[in-house]
Structure 1
Amino acid sequence: MTAANPAMPAAMDEHFILFQQLPLIYGRVPKVANSSVKAALTRLLDQPPEEGYRTTADALWRKGTHGETTMVDAVEAMQRRSSHFCFSFVRNPFDRLVSAYNNKLIENDTLSTAMQRMGLERHMPFRRFLEVVVATADADLDVHLLPQSSILCIDGVPVPGFIGQMEAMADHWQLLRRRMRQAGLPALGKLPSKNVRRAGETDLTAHFSDENLISLARERYREDVELFYGDHDLYKLARGQLSVTPTPLERITAMLPA
């Protein structure tokens, strides 16, 4: 999978928050503690965000921080990775998919325009939802359903130098804070708890009740599984049964002092 489809509007390709005065980039992935991470990042702003913007919204980081941040695509983020500390977090693809389904199709009163264009409907059966997602090209997916590899990678190569996993968020957040200190960046602080809707992954088995559903999701999110969760058994992954504490994906860059 490639990072950007040239037919897509530029703003839809911009998944990375670039700080203008700090050598810092965050690759935001919806449904992966994104709201909490963004809330933490507001502490690094010199001025409070402009009124009328939510900290969770990309629009804030694009044009609501008095010019302190902007959003860039994967190509520009890649070009800056030798001079900037770039980080992100990923999530078990099966769990992220169920989270998007529950939140966007079951809990919310309306569907996003992108989901309507896909042909999704509120309260549609999970099996039919998955079939629609599988049949939809990346360029036409709502961002909450876009593969994490499509957001964070260029030709299968991850852009961020630090990629933590949501399943080990507490440990990986602490490690991220340590890596940022080593890179001379300001203290990030504790991770706030924002938009937490599902406690654990106990509902995965009910959604992935047969091998056909697991195979469909695995094929659609193949790169996510292989790049970020390749050391886990597929069927345990589909049931949220991660057997070991995951290790963050790290690439040491010139940002770290000698």
Structure 2
Amino acid sequence: MHDAAPAKGPIGALVDLHGGRPALSRHVHVSAEHGFVYFSNPKVACSSTKASLNLAVAARSGQPLELRSMEQIHDRGHNPLASPRELGWKRFGAMLRDPQVLRFSFVRDPLKRFVSAYLSKLDEAKRGSGQSRRLFAHLGWEQGHPLSLQDFAALVRADETVRELDPHWRLQRRQIGFDVVDFGFIGDHAAFARDFELIARRIFGAPVEVFDTRTAFGRFTRPSDVEVTEQVRRDVAAAYAEDYAMLDEIRARGLGQMAA
């Protein structure tokens, strides 16, 4: 039996942000052996990051690992990186405090992330996704109800519950626990190749091959396929003001620079 998560402190705060221990465990990837904690951020190269890290850890431990589908990438039992629950909450808490452990994540321009989330989860062609079913059920809509990008932007601006309903479009600030975790590095999605190499060098002492799920499984979203109006920009800027402020804080605190 796994030890219970402490009710207070960083773990308790992270549990509250994620709405429970299972959700927190689902989005955090830990290697005690290699000394890192990765806080995944959906729609911010999280699948490629998870796949690349798992393959690198497996290779260094002599563990055979093949990733032939997105389902395998998200299957925790298929991959060597542990969740906080699997590691044990006390050990996870110690890794949150240990100055030798690299705690990191990636962030993205909020408007670009929002558009990507809409296109991949809520666009008319994606109405079968779990995210669209959950959102439409929450709103009391039939699955055929029209929902444009403009409509969705207005919704998340007007209703915080809708904005926080799913990790793919919730505040990044909450998703990664920015105000709770003592991060050593926060990478920029726009410079993913550069920043992932910095992370790999810090963890493994050398670059590792990036497993790009977009090319491996054809998982592309094309922002050019949808019109981003000025009203959408205003709505996203208002709804995700905390994320824009977070990006400024990351720059001001030097969290986008890897410490020596």
Q: TM-score, normalised by structure 1?
A: 0.71
* 3-state SS, counterpart of residue 103 of structure 1: helix
**For 1:115, which of 127, 132, 135 is the aligned residue?**
135
Give the structure 1 partner of residue 6 of structure 2. Answer: none
* 3-state SS, counterpart of residue 193 of structure 2: helix
Mapped contact 2:200–2:208 kept (Cα < 8 A): yes
Mapped contact 2:164–2:171 kept (Cα < 8 A): no
Compared CA separation, residues 152 and 140, structure 1 to 2 (3 A): closer
Q: Supply the AA of the counterpart residue of 1:249.
A: G
1:99 aligns with 2:116: yes
**For 2:175, which of 144, 151, 154 is the aligned residue?**
151
Compared CA separation, residues 215 and 76, structure 1 to 2 (3 A): farther
Query: Where does 1:48-127 land on structure 2 (aligned, <5 Å)?
Result: 48=64, 54-57=71-74, 60-61=75-76, 63-65=77-79, 69-71=82-84, 76=93, 79-106=96-123, 107-112=125-130, 113-119=133-139, 123-127=146-150
Higher helix share: 2
Compared CA separation, residues 151 and 9, structure 1 to 2 (3 A): same
In structure 1, list runs of 5 or more residues that go unmatched. 233-246
Mapped contact 2:72–2:78 kept (Cα < 8 A): no
Give the structure 1 partner of residue 23 of structure 2. Answer: 12
Give the structure 1 partner of residue 9 of structure 2. Answer: none
**For 1:172, which of 195, 206, 228 is the aligned residue?**
195
Q: What is the alpha-carbon distance in structure 2 between the residues aligned to residue 114 and residue 20 of structure 1?
A: 35
Give the deviation of 1:36 after TM superposition.
Answer: 0.9
Q: What is the alpha-carbon distance in structure 2 between the residues aligned to residue 6 and residue 171 of structure 1?
A: 29
Give the structure 2 partner of residue 237 of structure 1. Answer: none
Q: TM-score, normalised by structure 2?
A: 0.70
Q: What is the alpha-carbon distance in structure 2 between the residues aligned to residue 231 and residue 26 of structure 1?
A: 17
In structure 2, list runs of 5 or more residues that go unmatched. 1-12
Query: Where does 1:213-228 land on structure 2 (aligned, <5 Å)?
Result: 213-228=232-247
Give the deviation of 1:248 after TM superposition.
Answer: 6.0
Give the structure 2 partner of residue 240 of structure 1. Answer: none
The sequence identity of aligned pairs, in percent, is 23
Q: What is the alpha-carbon distance in structure 2 between the residues aligned to residue 42 and residue 188 of structure 1?
A: 14
* 3-state SS, counterpart of residue 39 of structure 1: helix
Q: Supply the AA of the counterpart residue of 1:54.
A: E
Compared CA separation, residues 23 and 229, structure 1 to 2 (3 A): same
Instruction: Give structure 1 regions of 4+ aligned residues with deviation exceeding 6 angstroms.
Output: 50-53
Q: What is the alpha-carbon distance in structure 1 between the residues aligned to residue 94 and residue 165 of structure 2?
A: 22
